[in-house]
Amino acid sequence: MENELRNAIRELFANQGVGVAIGYGRVGVDGAVGAVFVTSPDDVDQLVWNNECRQNLAVHLTRPEVKALGKIAIVCKPCDARAVVVLANEAQIKREDLVVVGVVCEGIRNVKPDGSTSDKDYPKCETCVQHVPANVDVVIGETSKGEALDAKNAEVATTAGHQAKLAKLRAMSAEERFQYWRDEFSRCVRCYACRQSCPLCYCNRCVADKNRPARIDTSASLKGNFAWNILRAFHLAGRCVGCGACASACPAGIELDLLNLTLANAAKEHFGFVAGTEVGAAPLIGTYDRDDKEEFIR
């Protein structure tokens, strides 16, 4: 599959005028997998594909320095490909200027505390139902694990996974749940790795970095941590595609993906909306509509 991927990228360099291919490579000091930016067909062999490719590479699509490298080809797991759809829907990228190489993914392995790869699935992959990428230009690999998650089957397909993952939170009373998040957020050091790793946190200047007025407390206090994490979750409501990049990047191990999933699940339950499955979808929140079912909006 790795060879299939490399051949496909070479082909794109040759025939589609691609200037840079964003993919996974062994870039860490100890051979850890991270993002590589291949600008020449000669370097394509740097690309790897295995069950350690955790990052969501779509985060690089909005960076001006990457855009400056020319036409982009990007390697996307099925979850990451949904982020590309959202980015295009939100006018951050021009989809036609981009080649999305979707890779079939049967789950990414977790990392042990010592940095080595565990034989267990990464938590968000445990209940994942999307193994075949949708809305991509090329699909690499095959699987028997089901169909691509597109607008048609998204609603049904994601339900079971959500329920399983949220079961833990739902079993708690409101007080227990609050205490749970209190404990989680108390570990936050406000490094903003969650924001930096998230493809949908693309604002030129984050509201957390604005100080006139200071809308949230920037100190790593419990109050400021609550404000930051809840604010980020709200900004991702109806947008988060559940790639888990934030939780993966969090040095404190806060289960940020659960927080986002709660809102994603609400979006689905109440509005039948699954982010990143429909090309051209209007944002779930904040679309003015004369026929809004809320009678008080006229």
Partner 1 sequence: MAKIGVFTCWCGENIARNVDVQAVSEAISKLPGVACSENYKYMCSEPGQTLIADKIKELGLTGVVVASCSPHMHLKTFRKTVELAGVNPYLVEMANIREQCSWVHNDKPVATAKAIELIGMAVAKVRRNAALEPIKVPVTKRALVIGAGVAGIQAALDLAAGGVEVILVEREPSVGGKMAGLSETFPTLDCSQCILTPRMVEVGQHPNIKLMTYSEVEKVDGYVGNFKVTVRKKARYVDITKCTGCGSCWNACPKKGKIPNSFDYGLGNRGAIYIPFPQAVPARPTIDADNCIRIQNMAKGKELCGICSKQCAAQAINFHDQDELVEFDVGAIVVATGYKLYSIGKEQENPNIKGYGEYGYGKYKDVVDSLQFERIISASGPTGGEPKRPSDGATPKTIVFIQCTGSRDNAKGITYCSKICCMYTAKHTMLFKHKVHDGTAHVFYMDIRSGGKMYDEFVRRAIEQDGAQYHRGRVSKIEKVTVDGQTKYRCYGADTLAGTPCVVDADMVVLACAMVPSTGVKSLAQKLSVGYNEYGFLSESHPKLRPVETNAAGVFVCGACQGPKDIPETVAQASAAAGKALIMLSQPFLTREPEIATVDEKLCAACGACVKACPYKAISIEEIRDRKGNLVKMTSRVNPGLCMGCGTCVAVCPSKSVDLIGFTDDQVYAQIESLLD
Q: Which residues bind partner 1 (CB under 8 A)?
A: 90-92, 202-207, 210, 212-215, 235, 282-283, 285-288, 290, 298
* 234 token code pair: 């709200």
For the range 15-19, what are the long-range contacts, defined as Cβ-Cβ under 8 Å and sequence gap of 24 or more? 16/71, 16/73, 16/99, 17/70, 17/71, 18/70, 18/71, 18/72, 18/73, 18/99, 19/69, 19/70, 19/71, 19/72
Find residue 54's DSSP bridge partners.
Answer: none
Residue whose entry in the numeric block shows the structure tokens 């200027």: 97
Of the candidates 83, 84, 129, 136, the one whose C-alpha atom is nearest the C-alpha of residue 106 is 129
Of the candidates 75, 141, 64, the one whose C-alpha atom is nearest the C-alpha of residue 105 is 141
Q: Nearest approach, Cβ of 234 to partner 1 (angstroms)?
A: 9
Task: Label each residue of 51-117 as H, E or C.
Answer: CCCCCCHHHHCCCHHHHCCCCEEEEECHHHHHHHHHHHHCCCCCHHHEEEEEECCCCCEEECCCCCE
Q: Nearest approach, Cβ of 58 to partner 1 (angstroms)?
A: 15
* 3 token code pair: 């060879």
Pairing relationship of beta strands 117-121 and 109-111 according to DSSP bridges: antiparallel
Query: Which CB, 180 or 202, lies closer to partner 1?
Result: 202
Query: Which CB, 113 or 213, lies closer to partner 1?
Result: 213
Pairing relationship of beta strands 47-48 and 20-26 according to DSSP bridges: antiparallel
Q: Nearest approach, Cβ of 59 to partner 1 (angstroms)?
A: 14
Q: Cis peptide leading into 213, omega within 30 of 0? A: yes
Q: Nearest approach, Cβ of 94 to partner 1 (angstroms)?
A: 11
Q: Nearest approach, Cβ of 235 to partner 1 (angstroms)?
A: 5
8-state DSSP, 188: -
Q: Nearest approach, Cβ of 90 to partner 1 (angstroms)?
A: 5
Which ranges in 148-252 belong to alpha helices (H)?
Answer: 154-170, 174-186, 193-197, 222-236, 245-249
Q: Nearest approach, Cβ of 297 to partner 1 (angstroms)?
A: 8
Q: Nearest approach, Cβ of 188 to partner 1 (angstroms)?
A: 20
